[in-house]
Structure 1
Amino acid sequence: MQHVLIANRAAIAARAARTCRGMNLETTALSARADTQNTHVTWADHEITVPGHGLSDTYDSAERVLDAVDRSGVDCVYPGYGSLAENAEFVMGLEDRGVTFVGPPARALRLAGSKAEAVEVARRAGVPVLPHASGRGRDEVLARVREIGLPAVLKPEFGHGGQGVRIAHTAADVEQAVAAGPARTSWYVEKYLPVNQVIGISLAVDRDGTVLPLGERESLLVADGLKLLEASPVAGVDTSTLAAMRADAARVAGEFGLRNVMTVEFIVGPDRYYFLEVNGRLPLAYRMSESQMDIDLVELQLRIARGEPVPADAYPVDRARHCLEARLFVHPSELGSFPEVGTLSRFEMADGDAVTFTWTVDPARPVTYELILAQALAANSSRAAAARLLRKGLEASRVEGLRCYLQEILHRLNDEC
């Protein structure tokens, strides 16, 4: 493993290139020809461009990126947290070429990619699951919802990132959701818990199956299927329940045959918790784990990929260190002409010792391909103290020209201060 293609863009691509440089690994950055915000390439040793327009035809295209692998002569691909990180067909293409993938094997990703198959694997492993079913078309989905009962959650079975998820309280809601989705979509239907917490348990697994816990976090604010604010450690869940979830997360990883860094998500209701899904990639909130463990997770991913063992107790999680992370996602209303997003008339992040921002946006250039303008992380000895720091940093920042949920995040932070 000597030459790494970084199959992503923006902040995670720049971070990966810096980590590779510290490990004396040669890097090639991927760049779409129409991407005016390709500042991530400045951190890499080489650049390779891909044709096409839009994410699905460039950075997220298995065909385009496999062609870039062939042209660049790399022996390893690092995907970050983009959709290629969980694309089983893409990983199979790398395996056929003898190219190392920094992530789980294709067969594990194929299982995790189907919500219906994933929940059955968890159920067979003895992990609690919600009542669920799958169906296509209005009549079949309505029948499945009647079996489970309302309210219900409808998810595209092979979707990711929370996109396309609908909560149905009535039969009319179900019909509207199915009508709004692409034709012939396979829908995964699950019982909805009105009172709940969504908790992600992150872990790393090496080639021998040794599990390294990476901490857990909860979603504090979700809008339009986007996780805007997360916190760690989890509040309001007793230690024995969290310990059981950690054990079940490790059990699920083993049943799937997952390797490298991943997150197993659970939903906690009034009486118990249930398995939700597996995300077989670096979590978007990876810096929270890094802050609590004093570890470089990108470096850990690369070391696992080249076969190095991971001692299970080498990096203890400091749960006395409270972290909150806010994400300034571009609002969906701004993405009508994607990948041409728009322009920023003002973009100033109040980076400092108390709050660290991650971004690669150049406000002097037209904004293209950008889904997240910045991420802001604060850490302190209590959640309230971390929330105050994060609120102060965001209030001192300025984003004008594009809507990015800044006010919604500030409003939610007021509840935590």
Structure 2
Amino acid sequence: MQHVLIANRAAIAVRAAQTCRKLGLETTALTALTDTQNTHVAWADHEVAVPGRGLPDTYDSAVRVLDAVDRSGVDCVYPGYGSLAENAEFVSGLEDRGVTFVGPTAAALRLAGSKAAAVETAHRVGIPVLPHAAGRGRTEVLARAREIGLPVVLKPEFGYGGQEVRVAHTESDVERAVAGGAADTSWYIEKFLPVNRVVGVGLAVDHQGTVLPLGERESLLVADGLKLLEAAPVAGVDARTVEAMRMDAARVARAFGLHNVMTVEFIVGPDCYYFLEVNGRLPLAYQMSEAQLDTDLVELQLRIARGESVASSEVPVDRALHCLEARLFVHPQELADFPAVGTLDHLELADVEGVSYAWSVDPARPVTYELILAQALATGADRATAARLVRAGLAESRVEGLRCYVEEILRRLNDAC
């Protein structure tokens, strides 16, 4: 590993370039010719451009990025937390070229990428799962939902990032959900728990199978399939249950053959927890883990990718430190003309002691490929302190011109966290 293509953009691409520079690695930035917010390019040693419009046709296109790999002569690809990080066909193309991928193998990603296969694998190694099924078309999906019993959650079996996830309380809801998807969509159907919380267990696994815990977090606010607010450590779940999920997450990683940094998600009900899914990539919440670990997770990813071993006790998690992160996702309705999203009239993130931001948007340039404008992170001795800091940071910031859930986040922070 000497020359890394950073196959992403925005804040995570800037961070990856900074870490690579610290490690003495040469970097090439990926950029779309139609990306007007390509501020990340300045942080890399070189750049390689791809044609097209929109994320699926540029940064998330396996074909386009593999072509960029060929043209740039890199020997390693770092994907950050974009969809390429979990694209088995893309990784397979890198394996064929002898190019190192900073993440799991193509075979492991294929298994993790199918929600039905992933749940069956977790069940096979003794991890609790919810009643579930898979099907295509209105008739089959409706029949499976009836067998499980309403309400159910419907997800595209190979969906990514919470896309098109729907809760169906009635048979009419099921029919509408199926009608709203592509005709050839394979649907994953799962029993819905009305009272629940989603807990993500972070871990890193090296090529020798050593598991390094990276801490646990929970979602406090989700809208339109987007996690707007997350907190660590987990509250309201007893320590014994959290420890059991931690152990089961390690079992999942080994059963799937995953390595590098990942998150295993569980859904926690009143009296039990169940496997939800595994994300074999750097989480969007990686800076929360870094705060509790006092280590660079991007560096850890690169170390594992080049074959280094990590000791399970190498990086202890400080679970007494509370972290809370808010994410200013651009509202989906603003993306109707994507990638020409619009223009920020004003973006000024407040300088509040104890609050840090991850962002790379230049408000003077048109917004094209932005899905998220900024992430605001605060730490404290308890969750209330972290919540108060994030609330102050967002309340004093000015984000005008694009809707990005500020009001929804502030309302949630005004509740007890």
C-alpha contact (below 8 Å) 2:345/2:363 kept by paired residues: yes
Report the CA distance shift for 1:347/1:204 in structure 2 as closer, same or farther (over 3 A).
Answer: same
Give the CA deviation at 1:268. 0.3
Q: TM-score, normalised by structure 1?
A: 0.99
What residue number does 1:192 align with? 192
C-alpha contact (below 8 Å) 2:352/2:389 kept by paired residues: no
Give the CA deviation at 1:150. 0.4
What residue number does 1:338 align with? 338
C-alpha contact (below 8 Å) 1:351/1:357 kept by paired residues: no
Superposition RMSD on alpha carbons, in Å? 0.6
What residue number does 1:81 align with? 81
What residue number does 2:294 align with? 294
> Where in structure 2 are the equivalents of 1:142-153 lying within 5 Å?
142-153=142-153
Secondary structure at 1:145 match in 2:
helix
> Where in structure 2 are the equivalents of 1:241-260 lying within 5 Å?
241-260=241-260
Out of 342-351 and 149-158, give the one that drifted further. Answer: 342-351
What residue number does 1:359 align with? 359
**Does residue 45 of the first structure (1) align with residue 15 of the second (2)?**
no
Instruction: Give the AA of the match of 1:208.
Output: Q
Give the CA deviation at 1:416. 3.1
Secondary structure at 1:30 match in 2:
strand
What residue number does 2:310 align with? 310
What is the aligned length?
417
CA distance in 1, matches of 2:351, 2:179: 44
**CA-to-partner distance for each residue in 1:75-129, whole Å, 9 max, x for gaps?**
0000000000000000000000000000000000000000000000000010000
**CA-to-partner distance for each residue in 1:215-253, whole Å, 9 max, x for gaps?**
000000000000000000000000000000000000000
> Where in structure 2 are the equivalents of 1:161-176 lying within 5 Å?
161-176=161-176
Q: TM-score, normalised by structure 2?
A: 0.99
> Where in structure 2 are the equivalents of 1:224-263 lying within 5 Å?
224-263=224-263
Give the CA deviation at 1:350. 1.3
CA distance in 2, matches of 1:252, 1:8: 27
Instruction: Give the AA of the match of 1:128.
Output: P
Give the CA deviation at 1:352. 4.2
Give the CA deviation at 1:359. 0.5
What residue number does 1:388 align with? 388
Instruction: Give the AA of the match of 1:243.
Output: E
What residue number does 1:217 align with? 217
Give the CA deviation at 1:353. 3.5
Out of 209-218 and 348-357, give the one that drifted further. Answer: 348-357
CA distance in 2, matches of 1:113, 1:353: 40
**CA-to-partner distance for each residue in 1:163-194, whole Å, 9 max, x for gaps?**
10000000000000000001110000000000
What residue number does 1:60 align with? 60
C-alpha contact (below 8 Å) 1:219/1:231 kept by paired residues: yes
What residue number does 2:349 align with? 349
C-alpha contact (below 8 Å) 1:338/1:368 kept by paired residues: yes
C-alpha contact (below 8 Å) 1:150/1:191 kept by paired residues: yes
Runs of 4+ in 1 over 4 A off after TM superposition: none
CA distance in 2, matches of 1:393, 1:332: 23
C-alpha contact (below 8 Å) 1:156/1:187 kept by paired residues: yes
Identity %: 78
CA distance in 2, matches of 1:389, 1:30: 35
- Which blocks of at least 5 consecutive residues in structure 1 are unaligned? none
> Where in structure 2 are the equivalents of 1:257-296 lying within 5 Å?
257-296=257-296
Instruction: Give the AA of the match of 1:377.
Output: L
> Where in structure 2 are the equivalents of 1:317-336 lying within 5 Å?
317-336=317-336
